[in-house]
Structure 1
């Protein structure tokens, strides 16, 4: 489910669970990049953000892959722009319409120039200053995928998608943070790598979750049955602790072994091998998956379909990219991802049977649509 419930720690502390991450040029304000971090799967309309968390966006310039490389992996630079959002403890207030007790929350985000931008949670106008605009509040979860069919595919080892799929998360809510940043404040270079993180707040920050691309943890790292090296290892919490731009050496081999095995599983679901393995069993996509950040060209205009992975795949072919890359809210990225995993784009599109949300995102700030006031109850965990 994109990055919903992506490991034991996320299940234990869902307030820190990043469910999704998006980055795209603003369709409403040219010259701005939009960053969206969604948290707390299946949020209630009254839920608020944690005052004990740091919600962070990190942006780094990217250089072209090394000469002769076909991995599609760009090289992150050392320069970094960081946007940190934090929230106060909720205040007890009285609802002016009903007279009932209620809660109100305020937050702030530090712009790259150091200016503190303040805002009130669930205020659609948000706050602005220092070249950024910020919204935070409960919104309709925009992620689209037939999650049950995807899990059935892994369990049965056969493609289980149908023409008429269902969105498992349809009608459920998330806590969203939306940041628009002027392109002039971005790190230098045409391409930017972007990642979202939640960390403990205080003098010592511990990374709890980090997200770049969708379904890396749940569809590519979670399954254990195909990994002959680390079959008993729940690897996702270890992966979350890593720096997306600089993976450490301690678990690097474990991540590679899990991805080599699971990517090979996805590749053979149509009965053919489209991604030839290396002599050591390495999968051609493993390096690209481990470079787990969205790649965006903010100089190109907003594109709603076909931009996800386009920059990386063009680099693999040694061709210039044509789109802004990144990930837009309404982009059906799972069809694009499953197609690459199963047939490398050399066969029919692998559709999961859902193409759009029942309430698509808008083209104006804050982009995500209003929360469902009566969301379906979350399923029980057994």
Structure 2
């Protein structure tokens, strides 16, 4: 679910649908940052990237207004590093007498110090100009009992079980993995990371943008609790906005939706752990709207426990201890649900799923090899 099928345009154009974004220090090369963009929910092993899309990472330095500012308070700088991947139309490679021709595809990745070319599904990818790149089909690493999460919203009661199950376990995604030398990044320890898909050509239209998981599907999608915009499908509007600089046009609608939905999640354990302010605003709304991963590129890779650690430490007015960001094997949904329901002041809210069936490795390109026989996707009506 993370960001799978996160709005009408994503459902209509699944090739442009971002499912997940990850950012973490390289576990095998200190001084390098790994960026992962997964697209196309329920990809077939033979699926390839669209030559009509631009796949983009945007990175900006982050700073806090003052050292004593306790709050979410991370302000993006104006400087921006952009890493973009584009793909050629596939070529048919000749097969032998028993085989169908295989389709091959080339890609190009451009970063702050130049471009590199690579072949899709080549596990070694391409390297040069301070970057290393892989693109191809991989096992979807996202971990969550999506059915139970949706049942929680529908029934107004926590519906997680132990054990839970990963929805359509074994599904694949199209994955882009970029490893970049941190000396090429904007100055400062903290970097904000967002990924986007856009139309390719002289006029680029953003189709999707993703920072943290489940912002759109779990926090923005439910309409029933919103007293202001109850009939509004808000996610496509949200996708069109700039993650680092939200426009004023729909900001009030986002806030109303989040204030209402975050209050719903908080009430599920029968008590309020996030007090609403006098204007009816939920304390988490500003954090959710700052929708980018926050990574400390000077700290070492940490497999588990870094997700939201930087943000929560800032909220307490303390120095963070980890690299932050999001790693491939970290069970971040338990972290998210626990913060939503009890602000970390009660038991861990587990969805009953703790790891993927095929875990990511510590070696490039990190994600597990694709499932040759993935489950059939459900029909949409």
TM range, normalised to the smaller chain? over 0.9
How far apart are residue 95 of structure 1 and its match?
Answer: 3.0
User: Equivalents in 1 of 2:106, 2:46: separation in Å?
Assistant: 14
Displacement of 1:71: 3.0
Give 3-state SS (helix, strand or coil) of 1:85's partner.
strand
- In 2, are the aligned partners of 1:139 and 1:174 still within 8 Å (CA)? yes
Q: What corresponds to 2:330 in structure 1?
A: 331
| Residue of structure 2 equivalent to 1:76 | 76
Gaps of 5+ in 1: none
Aligned equivalents of 1:98, 1:27: Cα separation in 2: 42
Deviation readout 1:271-323 (Å, 9 max, x if unpaired): 00000001111000000000000000011000111100000000000000000
Moved segments of 4+, more than 6 Å: none
CA contact (8 A) 2:168 2:375 kept: no
Checking the alignment, whether the CA contact within 8 Å between 1:72 and 1:315 is kept in structure 2 is: yes
Alignment-derived partner of residue 30 in structure 2 = 30
Cα distance in 2, alignment partners of residues 315 and 184 from structure 1: 25
Match of 1:306 in 2: 305
Distance in 2 (CA, whole Å) between partners of 1:354 and 1:95 is 41
Give the SS at the match of 1:203.
Answer: coil
Question: What is the CA–CA distance in structure 1 between the aligned matches of 2:226 and 2:357, rounded to whole Å?
Answer: 37
Which residue of the partner structure matches residue 215 of structure 2? Answer: 216
Q: Is the 8 A contact 1:141 1:169 kept in 2?
A: no
Counterpart of 2:41 in structure 1 is 41
* 8 A Cα contact 2:294 2:310, kept in partner: yes
Q: Answer yes or no: is the 8 Å Cα contact 1:87–1:107 preserved in 2.
A: yes
Local SS of the residue matching 1:202:
coil
Give the Cα–Cα distance (whole angstroms) in 1 for the partners of residues 303 and 313 of structure 2.
Answer: 18
In 1, distance between residues paired with 2:201 and 2:24? 30
SS at match of 2:346: coil
Q: 2:62 maps to which residue?
A: 62
1:94 counterpart residue number: 94
- The answer as to whether partners of 2:136 and 2:175 remain within 8 angstroms in 1 is yes
Residue 187 of structure 2 is aligned to residue 188 of structure 1: yes
Cα RMSD between the aligned structures?
1.0
SS of the residue corresponding to residue 274 of structure 2 reads: coil
Q: 1:14 and 1:293 mapped to 2: Cα distance?
A: 22
Q: Distance in 1 between matches of 2:128 and 2:7?
A: 36
Question: Which TM-score applies when normalising by structure 1?
Answer: 0.98
* 1:106–1:231 distance in 2 versus 1, CA, 3 Å: same
The alignment's TM-score, normalised by the length of structure 2, stands at: 0.98
| Structure 2 gap ranges (5+) | none
Alignment match, 1:4:
4
